[in-house]
Structure 1
Amino acid sequence: MTEYERSRTMPAQPEHVYDQAANIGQMDSWLPEALHVHAEEPPAVTVHEDRTDHDTAALLRSRHDQMRLEWGTREQGGYSGWLQVAGIGGGASEVTVHLSVFDDDHDPGEKAVGDALDTSLRRLEEQVRLRVDHAAG
Protein backbone atom coordinates (compact mmCIF):
# COMPACT_ATOMS: atom_id res chain seq x y z
CA MET A 1 0.00 0.00 0.00
CA THR A 2 1.19 3.49 -0.86
CA GLU A 3 -0.07 6.72 0.73
CA TYR A 4 -0.09 10.18 -0.83
CA GLU A 5 -1.12 13.49 0.70
CA ARG A 6 -1.15 17.16 -0.26
CA SER A 7 -2.51 20.33 1.36
CA ARG A 8 -3.30 23.81 0.13
CA THR A 9 -4.47 27.01 1.81
CA MET A 10 -7.51 28.67 0.24
CA PRO A 11 -8.77 32.22 0.80
CA ALA A 12 -12.35 31.35 1.77
CA GLN A 13 -14.41 30.19 4.72
CA PRO A 14 -14.25 26.42 5.21
CA GLU A 15 -18.00 26.05 4.58
CA HIS A 16 -17.62 27.63 1.12
CA VAL A 17 -14.67 25.41 0.26
CA TYR A 18 -16.40 22.26 1.47
CA ASP A 19 -19.64 23.07 -0.35
CA GLN A 20 -17.70 23.46 -3.61
CA ALA A 21 -15.68 20.27 -3.09
CA ALA A 22 -18.71 18.16 -2.11
CA ASN A 23 -20.95 19.22 -5.00
CA ILE A 24 -21.06 16.05 -7.14
CA GLY A 25 -22.39 17.97 -10.12
CA GLN A 26 -19.31 20.21 -10.13
CA MET A 27 -16.57 17.74 -9.18
CA ASP A 28 -15.38 17.58 -12.79
CA SER A 29 -14.29 21.20 -12.39
CA TRP A 30 -11.61 20.30 -9.86
CA LEU A 31 -10.89 16.56 -10.07
CA PRO A 32 -8.06 15.41 -12.34
CA GLU A 33 -9.21 16.20 -15.88
CA ALA A 34 -9.41 12.54 -16.90
CA LEU A 35 -11.81 11.58 -14.06
CA HIS A 36 -15.56 12.08 -13.99
CA VAL A 37 -17.92 11.17 -11.13
CA HIS A 38 -21.48 10.12 -11.91
CA ALA A 39 -23.91 9.86 -8.99
CA GLU A 40 -25.99 6.73 -8.59
CA GLU A 41 -27.85 5.77 -5.41
CA PRO A 42 -25.84 7.56 -2.66
CA PRO A 43 -23.25 6.78 -1.56
CA ALA A 44 -22.71 4.78 -4.77
CA VAL A 45 -21.01 6.57 -7.67
CA THR A 46 -19.28 5.56 -10.88
CA VAL A 47 -15.90 7.03 -11.73
CA HIS A 48 -15.08 7.20 -15.42
CA GLU A 49 -11.45 7.50 -16.48
CA ASP A 50 -10.99 9.00 -19.95
CA ARG A 51 -7.45 7.64 -20.37
CA THR A 52 -8.61 4.03 -20.16
CA ASP A 53 -12.28 4.61 -21.05
CA HIS A 54 -13.05 2.50 -17.99
CA ASP A 55 -15.82 2.87 -15.39
CA THR A 56 -15.14 1.96 -11.77
CA ALA A 57 -17.81 1.37 -9.13
CA ALA A 58 -16.99 3.53 -6.12
CA LEU A 59 -18.43 5.01 -2.95
CA LEU A 60 -18.46 8.69 -2.03
CA ARG A 61 -19.51 9.79 1.43
CA SER A 62 -19.99 13.38 2.42
CA ARG A 63 -19.68 14.17 6.11
CA HIS A 64 -20.77 17.80 6.16
CA ASP A 65 -20.61 18.10 9.96
CA GLN A 66 -16.89 17.16 9.76
CA MET A 67 -16.27 18.94 6.42
CA ARG A 68 -14.88 15.69 5.08
CA LEU A 69 -15.34 13.66 1.90
CA GLU A 70 -14.38 9.97 1.85
CA TRP A 71 -14.20 7.73 -1.21
CA GLY A 72 -12.99 4.38 -2.42
CA THR A 73 -13.58 1.61 -4.90
CA ARG A 74 -16.46 -0.77 -4.21
CA GLU A 75 -15.50 -4.16 -5.61
CA GLN A 76 -11.78 -4.42 -6.18
CA GLY A 77 -10.60 -2.29 -3.26
CA GLY A 78 -7.90 -0.60 -5.35
CA TYR A 79 -7.89 2.78 -3.65
CA SER A 80 -9.48 4.99 -1.03
CA GLY A 81 -9.06 8.57 -0.02
CA TRP A 82 -10.41 11.57 1.79
CA LEU A 83 -10.54 15.34 1.57
CA GLN A 84 -10.65 17.41 4.75
CA VAL A 85 -11.39 21.14 5.01
CA ALA A 86 -10.32 23.03 8.14
CA GLY A 87 -10.71 26.69 9.02
CA ILE A 88 -7.42 28.39 9.85
CA GLY A 89 -8.78 31.83 10.80
CA GLY A 90 -8.94 35.11 8.97
CA GLY A 91 -11.47 33.74 6.49
CA ALA A 92 -9.04 31.14 5.13
CA SER A 93 -9.09 27.35 5.01
CA GLU A 94 -6.66 24.51 4.63
CA VAL A 95 -7.68 21.62 2.39
CA THR A 96 -5.91 18.29 2.71
CA VAL A 97 -6.42 15.46 0.27
CA HIS A 98 -5.15 11.94 1.00
CA LEU A 99 -5.02 8.92 -1.31
CA SER A 100 -4.24 5.31 -0.39
CA VAL A 101 -3.43 2.93 -3.26
CA PHE A 102 -3.74 -0.73 -2.21
CA ASP A 103 -2.58 -2.41 -5.40
CA ASP A 104 1.02 -1.51 -6.26
CA ASP A 105 0.49 -2.77 -9.83
CA HIS A 106 -2.03 0.03 -10.37
CA ASP A 107 -0.07 2.77 -8.59
CA PRO A 108 0.85 5.46 -11.14
CA GLY A 109 3.79 6.55 -8.99
CA GLU A 110 4.67 9.39 -6.66
CA LYS A 111 5.23 12.06 -9.32
CA ALA A 112 2.02 11.33 -11.24
CA VAL A 113 -0.15 11.15 -8.11
CA GLY A 114 1.53 14.18 -6.51
CA ASP A 115 1.02 16.22 -9.68
CA ALA A 116 -2.63 15.12 -9.89
CA LEU A 117 -3.31 16.02 -6.25
CA ASP A 118 -1.58 19.40 -6.57
CA THR A 119 -3.46 20.19 -9.78
CA SER A 120 -6.79 19.15 -8.24
CA LEU A 121 -6.23 21.39 -5.22
CA ARG A 122 -5.25 24.30 -7.49
CA ARG A 123 -8.38 23.76 -9.61
CA LEU A 124 -10.55 23.54 -6.47
CA GLU A 125 -9.09 26.84 -5.28
CA GLU A 126 -9.91 28.42 -8.66
CA GLN A 127 -13.52 27.22 -8.38
CA VAL A 128 -13.78 28.50 -4.80
CA ARG A 129 -12.38 31.90 -5.84
CA LEU A 130 -14.91 32.12 -8.70
CA ARG A 131 -17.76 31.30 -6.33
CA VAL A 132 -16.63 33.70 -3.60
CA ASP A 133 -15.88 36.52 -6.08
CA HIS A 134 -19.27 36.01 -7.77
CA ALA A 135 -21.10 36.08 -4.42
CA ALA A 136 -19.28 39.28 -3.42
CA GLY A 137 -19.81 41.03 -6.76
Structure 2
Amino acid sequence: MSEYERSRTMPALPEQVFDQAADVHRLGAWLPDDLHVHAEEPPAVTVHEDHTDEDTSALLRAERDQMRIEWGTREQGSYAGWLQVAGVGSGASEVTVHLSFFDDSHDPGERAAREALDGSLRRLEEQVRIRVDGAAG
Protein backbone atom coordinates (compact mmCIF):
# COMPACT_ATOMS: atom_id res chain seq x y z
CA MET A 1 0.00 0.00 0.00
CA SER A 2 1.19 3.52 -0.85
CA GLU A 3 -0.08 6.78 0.58
CA TYR A 4 0.48 10.36 -0.54
CA GLU A 5 -0.62 13.64 1.01
CA ARG A 6 -0.24 17.31 0.12
CA SER A 7 -1.62 20.54 1.59
CA ARG A 8 -2.09 24.09 0.41
CA THR A 9 -3.31 27.29 2.05
CA MET A 10 -5.97 29.17 0.12
CA PRO A 11 -7.19 32.76 0.64
CA ALA A 12 -10.87 31.94 1.07
CA LEU A 13 -13.29 30.81 3.75
CA PRO A 14 -13.51 27.03 4.29
CA GLU A 15 -17.14 26.97 3.09
CA GLN A 16 -16.19 28.63 -0.19
CA VAL A 17 -13.34 26.20 -0.79
CA PHE A 18 -15.42 23.17 0.15
CA ASP A 19 -18.36 24.20 -2.04
CA GLN A 20 -16.05 24.54 -5.04
CA ALA A 21 -14.23 21.27 -4.38
CA ALA A 22 -17.38 19.25 -3.69
CA ASP A 23 -19.37 20.31 -6.76
CA VAL A 24 -19.39 17.09 -8.80
CA HIS A 25 -20.11 19.07 -11.98
CA ARG A 26 -16.97 21.20 -11.47
CA LEU A 27 -14.51 18.48 -10.45
CA GLY A 28 -12.94 18.56 -13.90
CA ALA A 29 -11.78 22.11 -13.26
CA TRP A 30 -9.33 21.00 -10.59
CA LEU A 31 -8.76 17.24 -10.91
CA PRO A 32 -5.80 15.98 -12.97
CA ASP A 33 -6.44 16.65 -16.67
CA ASP A 34 -6.68 12.95 -17.57
CA LEU A 35 -9.48 12.20 -15.05
CA HIS A 36 -13.14 12.89 -15.77
CA VAL A 37 -15.93 12.25 -13.26
CA HIS A 38 -19.47 11.53 -14.42
CA ALA A 39 -22.17 11.69 -11.75
CA GLU A 40 -24.62 8.83 -11.47
CA GLU A 41 -27.02 8.10 -8.61
CA PRO A 42 -25.24 9.65 -5.59
CA PRO A 43 -22.87 8.66 -4.21
CA ALA A 44 -22.03 6.63 -7.34
CA VAL A 45 -19.79 8.15 -10.02
CA THR A 46 -17.82 6.85 -12.97
CA VAL A 47 -14.24 8.00 -13.40
CA HIS A 48 -12.77 7.96 -16.89
CA GLU A 49 -9.00 7.96 -17.18
CA ASP A 50 -7.69 9.20 -20.54
CA HIS A 51 -4.30 7.51 -20.08
CA THR A 52 -5.84 4.02 -19.96
CA ASP A 53 -9.12 4.92 -21.73
CA GLU A 54 -10.92 3.01 -18.96
CA ASP A 55 -14.01 3.77 -16.91
CA THR A 56 -13.98 2.87 -13.22
CA SER A 57 -16.96 2.67 -10.91
CA ALA A 58 -16.37 4.79 -7.83
CA LEU A 59 -18.07 6.42 -4.87
CA LEU A 60 -17.89 10.10 -3.94
CA ARG A 61 -19.25 11.47 -0.67
CA ALA A 62 -19.17 15.09 0.42
CA GLU A 63 -19.87 15.92 4.07
CA ARG A 64 -20.27 19.69 4.35
CA ASP A 65 -20.66 19.64 8.13
CA GLN A 66 -17.21 18.02 8.31
CA MET A 67 -15.74 19.94 5.34
CA ARG A 68 -14.61 16.58 3.97
CA ILE A 69 -14.88 14.75 0.66
CA GLU A 70 -14.12 11.03 0.42
CA TRP A 71 -13.87 8.85 -2.67
CA GLY A 72 -12.74 5.44 -3.79
CA THR A 73 -13.18 2.66 -6.29
CA ARG A 74 -16.28 0.50 -5.86
CA GLU A 75 -15.67 -3.05 -7.07
CA GLN A 76 -11.94 -3.57 -6.86
CA GLY A 77 -11.16 -1.42 -3.81
CA SER A 78 -7.76 -0.47 -5.22
CA TYR A 79 -7.83 3.25 -4.53
CA ALA A 80 -9.26 5.73 -2.01
CA GLY A 81 -8.75 9.35 -1.10
CA TRP A 82 -10.04 12.28 0.84
CA LEU A 83 -9.93 16.06 0.85
CA GLN A 84 -10.24 18.02 4.08
CA VAL A 85 -10.78 21.78 4.37
CA ALA A 86 -9.93 23.59 7.61
CA GLY A 87 -10.09 27.27 8.52
CA VAL A 88 -6.77 28.82 9.50
CA GLY A 89 -8.04 32.29 10.42
CA SER A 90 -8.12 35.64 8.62
CA GLY A 91 -10.47 34.24 5.96
CA ALA A 92 -7.99 31.59 4.81
CA SER A 93 -8.24 27.80 4.60
CA GLU A 94 -5.88 24.87 4.50
CA VAL A 95 -6.80 22.10 2.09
CA THR A 96 -5.27 18.65 2.50
CA VAL A 97 -5.62 15.88 -0.06
CA HIS A 98 -4.70 12.29 0.78
CA LEU A 99 -4.49 9.33 -1.60
CA SER A 100 -4.19 5.63 -0.72
CA PHE A 101 -3.35 2.97 -3.29
CA PHE A 102 -4.12 -0.56 -2.09
CA ASP A 103 -3.09 -2.13 -5.39
CA ASP A 104 0.47 -1.40 -6.52
CA SER A 105 -0.58 -1.55 -10.17
CA HIS A 106 -2.62 1.64 -9.66
CA ASP A 107 0.13 3.51 -7.78
CA PRO A 108 1.62 6.19 -10.07
CA GLY A 109 4.73 6.56 -7.89
CA GLU A 110 5.71 9.28 -5.45
CA ARG A 111 6.84 11.90 -7.95
CA ALA A 112 3.79 11.57 -10.20
CA ALA A 113 1.41 11.51 -7.23
CA ARG A 114 3.04 14.59 -5.68
CA GLU A 115 2.89 16.49 -8.98
CA ALA A 116 -0.75 15.50 -9.55
CA LEU A 117 -1.76 16.53 -6.03
CA ASP A 118 0.12 19.83 -6.19
CA GLY A 119 -1.37 20.58 -9.61
CA SER A 120 -4.88 19.76 -8.43
CA LEU A 121 -4.54 21.95 -5.35
CA ARG A 122 -3.20 24.80 -7.49
CA ARG A 123 -6.13 24.50 -9.93
CA LEU A 124 -8.61 24.30 -7.05
CA GLU A 125 -7.16 27.51 -5.62
CA GLU A 126 -7.51 29.19 -9.03
CA GLN A 127 -11.16 28.10 -9.25
CA VAL A 128 -11.85 29.33 -5.72
CA ARG A 129 -10.24 32.70 -6.51
CA ILE A 130 -12.40 33.08 -9.64
CA ARG A 131 -15.53 32.25 -7.67
CA VAL A 132 -14.70 34.51 -4.70
CA ASP A 133 -13.57 37.40 -6.90
CA GLY A 134 -16.70 37.03 -9.04
CA ALA A 135 -18.95 37.09 -5.99
CA ALA A 136 -17.19 40.16 -4.61
CA GLY A 137 -17.27 42.09 -7.88
In structure 2, the partner of 1:46 is 46
**1:13-48 superposed Cα distances (whole Å, 9 cap, x missing partner):** 000000000000000000000001101010000000
Letter in 2 for 1:41: E
Kept in 1, the 8 Å contact 2:79–2:106? The answer is: no
Distance 1:121 1:115 in 2: 10
Aligned residues: 137
Match of 1:23 in 2: 23
What does residue range 45-124 of structure 1 map to in structure 2 within 5 Å? 45-124=45-124
Within 2, Cα distance between the matches of 1:63 and 1:42?
13
Q: Find the counterpart in structure 2 of residue 132 from structure 1.
A: 132
Unmatched segments (≥5 aa) in structure 2: none
- Secondary structure of 2:75's match? coil
CA distance in 2, matches of 1:126, 1:84: 17
Q: Which amino acid is the alignment partner of residue 3 of structure 2?
A: E
Residues in 1 aligned to 2:51 and 2:2: alpha-carbon distance in whole angstroms: 22
Paired residue for 2:9?
A: 9
1:40 counterpart letter in structure 2: E
After TM superposition, the score normalised by the length of structure 1 is 0.99
Q: Percent identity?
A: 76
Structure 1 equivalent of residue 37 of structure 2: 37
Q: Which amino acid is the alignment partner of residue 124 of structure 1? A: L
C-alpha distance in 1 between matches for 2:76 and 2:53? 17
CA distance in 2, matches of 1:26, 1:104: 29
Q: Deviations over 1:52-93 (max 9, x none)?
A: 110000000011100100000000111000000000000000
CA–CA separation in structure 2 for the residues paired with 1:82 and 1:107: 16
Structure 1 residue 105: Cα displacement: 2.2
Displacement, 1:51? 1.1
SS in 1 for 2:127: helix
Instruction: Name the TM-score, length of structure 2 as normaliser.
Output: 0.99
